[in-house]
Amino acid sequence: MAFAFTFPGQGSQSIGMGKDLAEAFPNARHIFEEVDDALRQKLSHLMWEGPIEDLSLTTNTQPALMASSIAAMTVLAKDFGIDVAEAKYAAGHSLGEYSALCAAGVINLRDTAKLLRIRGDAMQNAVPVGKGAMAALLGASVEDAEAAAAAGAKHGICQIANDNATGQIVLSGETDAVQAACDAATEMGVKKAMMLNVSAPFHCDIMSPAADAMRGALADVTFNTPSVPIINNVQAMPVTDPEQLKNDLIAQVTGRVRWRESIEWMAANGIETFAEPGTGKVLTAMLKRIVKDIKGVALNSPESLEAFAKEIKG
């Protein structure tokens, strides 16, 4: 069975994430402890006890989701004998790309945790509260979304931030521009255009200060060749060159998350099953809107990891 690992991004967090893995597997517990130590923060306590308002702060959400994903991957490898290299590809949605790179041995765990803390802080601080916004266009084609974004751009920065799935596209930019884009989309007959409750306008040019911060943060971090090709957000096709992977993480901060294209590319190149390690099942649910009759499985509990390992081993 040809499969790929896909790592979740913001929006998948929940109180208790990863706790059952930590309680059942010392190898998972060690991952959470190492992340806590790298960040000099009891992030695991926040993940398991809350409050959700603090966990949902970008500075905490990003390393927390990565820790949960890497804990699941570590259990899969050390407790069930399924290594990341047995997958054909790995990919991650936005911050999930860091999880994919860590799982594939490109960046070590401590560096990944520190980079995501810097990324979360930089993205949150790139724009004053209220200056930026994001909106979801439901039932819109990419062409519809581009036309709406162009209408919004007459009022300020407005771009496609996430091409998540067929009929599910997210715009990002200055508040007035994004609102104008929503109005234009409604006039075009798009099924639904709704402003989102987010802390900052991610993946658009307003995030340029955060991209600069990541350029500096990444400069001295060692990147290794991945043990499995990475389908990254910028290229939406396999990348194995460490320097390109690093440069694309910088471009990703202001660039479009090409998730639909990434999934379509992998499905067209032999992937039969997409496995989502970590918490929640946002990416697994999204699959049904991208490729028909494709299998997705969320690896977010001891039972799901064991079942997946048994299936892979046959």
Q: Cβ–Cβ contacts within 10 Å for residue 29, how many?
A: 18
The helix or strand, by DSSP H or E, that contains position 152, with its residue range, turns out to be helix 142-152
Task: Please answer whether residues 236 and 246 qualify as being in contact, where contact means their C-beta atoms are separated by less than 8 angstroms.
Answer: no
Active site residue 203: yes
Considering the candidates 44, 68, 94, 99, report the single residue annotated as catalytic: 94
Please answer whether residues 98 and 112 qualify as being in contact, where contact means their C-beta atoms are separated by less than 8 angstroms: yes
The SS3 of residue 120 is helix
The yes-or-no answer on residue 94 being catalytic is yes
Which residues, 6 or more positions from 165, have their beta carbon under 8 angstroms from its beta carbon? Answer: 259, 260, 263, 286, 289, 290
Q: Could you give the angle at the alpha carbon of 81 between the alpha carbons of 77 and 85, nearest 5°? A: 60
Report the C-alpha gap between 201 and 145 in whole angstroms: 16
Residues 253 and 123: their CA atoms lie apart, in Å, by 8
CA distance 241 to 229: 9
Among residues 93, 199, 203, 262, which one is catalytic?
203
Taking the CB of residue 27, how many other CB atoms lie within 10 A of it? 16
Catalytic residue positions? 94, 203
